[in-house]
Structure 1
Amino acid sequence: MTLIANPFYDSVFKYMMEDERVANILLSALLKKEISELQVRPHEYTNTQRTNISLFRMDFSAKIKDRDGEEHLVLIELQKTWLPTETLRFRQYLGTQYLSRENMRKDPDSQFGLPIISIYILGHTLGELVEPVIYVRRRYLDYEDNEIQGKDKFIESLTHDSIIVQIPFLRQRTRNRLERLLHIFDQNYRLENNDHLLEIDESLFQKEDAPVLTRLLKAFATPEVRRSMDVEDEILSEIEARDTVIMQKDHIIQQKERQIEQKEQQLEQNKQQLEQKDQQLEQSKQQLEQKDQLIRSMIRMMEHEGLNEEQIAQKLALPVEHIRSLK
């Protein structure tokens, strides 16, 4: 077993990928293609703002060989995040890559951009997809969905392939060389009392992949990298504390919203009850009006027969004052 620095940390990941030989090993394994030339792009970007450190980015230019031996110059956009983040951030950064004139072909007669391959290393999972590595590849199709052979610079400069790595689904899998190599990200190998270190089985790695382990050994031996990991721990602790406060506030807000909703429901019920009572009162009023109309008719009929008010009141069993009020 070998102890290595944990590339969970941006500082370790950056230190590892700045070594072009190590970056070549990892990227070629992900691409499943030979990379003949690789260079870190000068406009690399790493997010170390204290309010949000969840996203890390690096860019590479690479010459990759196809199966037929033909070489192609491409841009590799590598993004790593350990916290769930909205896709808008990824889209915004990808948009800057398409807009940059630095990513155009160097041929003065060419108006096309270099093909882009985006790689996302995620510390969280996606929906229902459980594979640790997902390849999103384009195909040229005709109207009948038949595949069209060949490639076009126009299409290649406007569309791109993607590779998505879901670290939580590695789960100590060793089905192929790539999964064995990706063990350096598997957080199941963290030391119990030290998140800065992973305990890796060196025998799982092929001889040509040994520089990756060596680089991560050097990372932990580098004081600046260790200090940066401590700083990241502090920042992550602050973010977790902030998120805890936000979650508590959200919980209180949700409780108040439920209470308000319950009160609104009660008010609505009261309103409905009042409306029902009003309807009942209106019905009673109509019934009384109909009764009074009937009594008036009877009074007129009895008066026509020559009865006086006292006699009418006696026959109808009503007070004389009520008979008078209805006349």
Structure 2
Amino acid sequence: MILHVANPIYDSVFKYIMSDERISKTILSALLKKEVVKVEMRPHEYVNTTRDTLSMFRIDFAATVREKDAEGEGFKDRVILIELQKTWLDTETLRFRQYLGAQYSNKINIRKDSPKGFAYPMVAVYLLGHRVGDIEEPVVYVNHDVFDYNGEVVEEGKEDPFVESLTHNSIIVQIPRLKGRVNNRLEKVLSVFDQSRKDAEDKQVLNIDENKYEDDADMMYMLHRLTAAAADSEMRQDMNVEDEYYKAIEDRDTAIMNRDKELKHKDEQLQQKSEQLQQKSEQLQQKSEQLQQKSEQLQQKSEQLQQKSEQLQQKSEQLQQKSEQLQQKSEQLQQKSEQLQQKSEQLNNIVKSLYSKGMNILQIAEITGINKDEVAAILN
């Protein structure tokens, strides 16, 4: 039986299922390849507080994982922090780093039972809606280790809290690389994010074959939650709002791309004109040399014609000067064009930086000296 479930690519749907402890334990256990016995969604102020962060959704978890003890004879539970960041646009890594930096400096992440102020070990999980270079695997693990001078792994004591407080492991998931792959437990869990299963007429819905999950109670539970989300009118409205925002972002990026093409075309035209002026200058130079030769020939015939020849020589020099002036003007125009382009980019960056720091359009207009309509146009 084919189920029509809500697409968890949407922030509203993703938050809805991750707020359910059973589902979050299912997903995190598969990602960590460890048994997660308890999950606590931690409060923070970094999740989608403005439109600009719509493309990057973040949730913090404190997860209690069950691991084998050092002797391998029993199990022990320990708490780790999971910083889960989801983005469906090709986002700069700086934004990921800034968020991780905030978590490293957050006192809430310091262990209360540690007199030395050690932090909980942390794992950063990135769910990406785009590909990462030439990496073919849909999920990759980036794990740190401890080495001595000779490059040998130091086994004894490498899980010391001092080490774990200053480094973290990462898990990178490339959603576009899933494409129906179900070769292990993790890929089975992540299959509900597979965008190749989108409904042909409604991208907010995925078509999932329920029969493939009948033997997995946790996955069936997740599918039923997603089915309920697809039927929820408020959830649908939130998804519509996200579609509108993404459409606005795409329109903005298209406008920027078209503007860049237009500027490049104008630069090419200026370059062509500069080359044409250079050719004319060379032609004038050639003509000047020809006139000089004729002048020398006429000098031999008559002193009167010599005077005319000198006049022609002067005119030739004037033409040369004009040619050089035209060349200089052409170079000046080229420099001004580049300066205007740089100033435009600098002004755009300043406006965006001020806006990201919480300034409104009127404040930015007052600081930069441009009118609010131009500020708004830069931010859209």
Shorter-normalised TM-score: what interval?
Answer: 0.7 to 0.9
Deviation larger for 252-261 or 111-120: 252-261
How do 1:67-216 and structure 2 match up within 5 A? Answer: 67-68=68-69, 69-149=75-155, 150-205=158-213, 206-216=216-226
Contact 1:59–1:78 under 8 Å retained in 2: yes
CA deviation digits over 1:210-254, x for unaligned, max 9? 221122122223332121111112212222222222222222122
How do 1:232-247 and structure 2 match up within 5 A? Answer: 232-247=242-257
The runs of 5 or more residues in structure 2 that have no matched partner are 70-74, 308-380
Q: Structure 2 vs 1, CA of residues 158 and 213 (structure 1 numbering), >3 Å: closer, same or farther?
A: same
Q: Which amino acid aligns with 2:44?
A: H
Contact 1:44–1:58 under 8 Å retained in 2: no
CA deviation digits over 1:13-64, x for unaligned, max 9? 0001011111010011001011122100011633263355211000001121
Aligned partners of 2:27 and 2:6: how far apart in 1?
A: 16
Aligned partners of 1:320 and 1:58: how far apart in 2?
A: 96
Specify the alignment match of 1:301 in structure 2. none
Deviation at 1:156, TM superposition (A): 0.8
Question: Which of 258, 271, 290 lines up with 2:268 in the alignment?
Answer: 258
SS at match of 1:45: coil
Question: Would you tell me which structure has more helix in proportion to its own residues?
Answer: 2
The runs of 5 or more residues in structure 1 that have no matched partner are 293-317
CA deviation digits over 1:49-95, x for unaligned, max 9? 33552110000011212233232211100001111111111011011
Aligned partners of 2:130 and 2:172: how far apart in 1?
A: 11
Specify the alignment match of 2:64 in structure 1. 63
Aligned partners of 2:60 and 2:180: how far apart in 1?
A: 28
Cα RMSD of the aligned pairs, angstroms, is 2.7
Contact 2:80–2:123 under 8 Å retained in 1: yes
Deviation at 1:143, TM superposition (A): 1.3
SS at match of 2:207: strand
Q: TM-score, normalised by structure 2?
A: 0.71
CA deviation digits over 1:271-307, x for unaligned, max 9? 56666777x589969x96xxx9xxxxxxxxxxxxxxx
Deviation at 1:174, TM superposition (A): 1.1
Deviation at 1:9, TM superposition (A): 0.6
Deviation at 1:116, TM superposition (A): 1.2
Q: Structure 2 vs 1, CA of residues 269 and 85 (structure 1 numbering), >3 Å: closer, same or farther?
A: farther
Contact 1:183–1:200 under 8 Å retained in 2: no
Q: Which amino acid aligns with 2:152?
A: N
Deviation larger for 265-274 or 107-116: 265-274
Q: Which amino acid aligns with 1:79?
A: Q
Deviation larger for 269-278 or 5-14: 269-278
Aligned partners of 1:14 and 1:130: how far apart in 2?
A: 28
Deviation at 1:257, TM superposition (A): 2.0
Specify the alignment match of 2:31 in structure 1. 30
Q: TM-score, normalised by structure 1?
A: 0.82
Specify the alignment match of 1:46 in structure 2. 47
Q: Which amino acid aligns with 1:116?
A: M
Q: Which amino acid aligns with 2:197?
A: Y
SS at match of 1:70: strand
SS at match of 2:120: coil
The one of the two structures with greater contact order (alpha-carbon pairs below 8 A, sep at least 6) is 1
Contact 1:46–1:57 under 8 Å retained in 2: yes
CA deviation digits over 1:143-170, x for unaligned, max 9? 1111111322112111110000001010
Q: Structure 2 vs 1, CA of residues 72 and 263 (structure 1 numbering), >3 Å: closer, same or farther?
A: farther
Specify the alignment match of 1:296 in structure 2. none
- Percent identity reads 47
CA deviation digits over 1:100-149, x for unaligned, max 9? 11111112513212211000000110111111001101111111111111
Contact 2:22–2:218 under 8 Å retained in 1: no
SS at match of 1:75: strand
Deviation at 1:261, TM superposition (A): 2.8
Larger Rg: 1
Aligned partners of 2:285 and 2:76: how far apart in 1?
A: 82
